[in-house]
Amino acid sequence: MNLERLKGEIGLIFTWNKSDRLWQMPFFAGVGVAIILFVAAYFKRPDLGLVAIIGANIFLYVPDTPIYHKMVLSMSCAFGMILAFSLGLVGQLFPSLIPLIAFIVTMVSAQVVRYFNIGAPGFFFFTFAALIGTYIPFKIEDYFMVIGLVAVGTIVANAMVLLYSLSVIYIFKHTPKPIPKAGEFGFGVIVIDPIIIASFVAFATYLQGFLELERGYWVGVSCAAVLTAITFKQIRIKQTQRILGTIVGVSFAYFLLHFHFSPIEFAILMMILMFFAELVVVRNYALAMIFVTPYTTYLAEVGSFMNYNPDILIQARVLDIAIGSVIGLLGGAVMHWKFLRNILEKITHKIIYKWVGNE
């Protein structure tokens, strides 16, 4: 029985899932990335274009709903992304606050996306923006500029959301789905789970500082990526898929990092990586990681754009991802430990009721 169960889980790792995701979504996501990097190439600052792409990631949250709902959600995500990145910059000034910042951003974003039933990629890119913000080496006098660049990225993404929505509805005659009900997951999933998730992401960021890992922010990022899954079974499978996909993705990234692309070539490369990552992520997470790994590696290395040692970079990335994935798996186990969940629910209920004055 255990052998059959193991075979079943291994099969899930390599399963090509069915999906109703429209191909236009990854297309417009890639176009948005390309537009930003083409403009950055015109001004000969592709590194600043990478900063703006952090904001453009909000496009990935666009649901298959009516246009007005898409636009409201997209603009709300834009505010959250800018705020998360800004808090990350605060972490540069006060490094001891980085775990607390990671906890707050992860907890709040996870609670919001679960309450409004937003779905994948969940809280991940908000946590990603905050952790990248703690690392990008900008001077304090440039903080307003880089926050503005992230805001510009969200503006481009919102424009892409509008064009995407108009095209699929009026050109391709696609009928949007109803808006998901808010708050239907219940108190445990909306409130308790994000607290546990945020605690482990915060612990991962603390551990990366304690171990003094080079580019250790990947520990927290990897932990967050694994914990975006809902059930412990999904977490186990996603962790395995992330590790397997990253092994191949790191090899691909290592190959690409040996080339010095022109700004135009780099814009085309990032567009292709984004397109294929979003095209396959809902079908097989391991396959998507092959494209996500080089994409996020370039995104995270904005501070040393086209001026890095691929050997050091990849070695650090593999170690950090392995540590972060293990922490994420432990977090998933704790998150589904009923005894602890019951205790947390009682404590949280008391705190909330006392705060609102109902007890």
Q: Return the pLDDT at 236.
A: 64
User: 335 with 197: CB under 8 angstroms?
Assistant: yes
Query: Residue 359: pLDDT above 60?
Result: no
Q: How many domains does the chain have?
A: 1
12-22 pLDDT per residue, tens:
556 666 766 77
Q: Please give the single-letter amino acid code of residue 330.
A: L
* 195 within domain boundaries: yes
Identify the band that residue 1 occupies on the pLDDT scale cut at 50, 70 and 90.
very low
* 115 within domain boundaries: yes
Residues of the chain above pLDDT 70, percent: 86
Kindly state the DSSP code that residue 57 receives in the 8-state scheme: G
Identify the band that residue 283 occupies on the pLDDT scale cut at 50, 70 and 90.
confident
Task: For residue 163, give its domain range.
Answer: 21-356
User: 146 with 138: CB under 8 angstroms?
Assistant: yes
Sign of CA dihedral 199, 187, 105, 69: positive
* 12 within domain boundaries: no
Query: Of the ranges 110-119, 123-132, 327-336, which one carries the lowest mean pLDDT score?
Result: 327-336
Instruction: Please tell me the distance from the alpha carbon of residue 56 to that of residue 33, in angstroms, as a whole number.
Output: 7
* 290 within domain boundaries: yes
Report which of residues 9 and 94 the model is more confident about: 94
Mean pLDDT estimate for the chain: 83
- Concatenate the DSSP letters of all residues of 116-161 into one string: TT--TTTTHHHHHHHHHHTTS---GGGHHHHHHHHHHHHHHHHHHH
152-193 pLDDT per residue, tens:
999 999 999 999 999 988 888 888 888 888 777 777 788 888
Q: How many helices (H) and strands (E) does the chain have?
A: 15, 0
Length of the chain in terms of residues written: 359
* 16 within domain boundaries: no
Mean pLDDT of 192-210: 90
Which distant-in-sequence residues (6+ apart) come within 8 Å of 239 by Cβ? 226, 325, 328, 329, 332
Instruction: Please tell me the distance from the alpha carbon of residue 358 to that of residue 128, in angstroms, as a whole number.
Output: 36
Q: Please give the single-letter amino acid code of residue 272.
A: I
* 191 within domain boundaries: yes
- Concatenate the DSSP letters of all residues of 279-331 into one string: HHTTT-HHHHHHHHHHHHHHHHTGGGTT-S-HHHHHHHHHHHHHHHHHHHHHH
List the structure tokens of 104: 């707050």
CA neighbor of 25 nearest in space, from 76, 62, 53: 62
* 9 within domain boundaries: no
Kindly state the DSSP code that residue 177 receives in the 8-state scheme: P
Report which of residues 303 and 126 the model is more confident about: 126
* 7 within domain boundaries: no
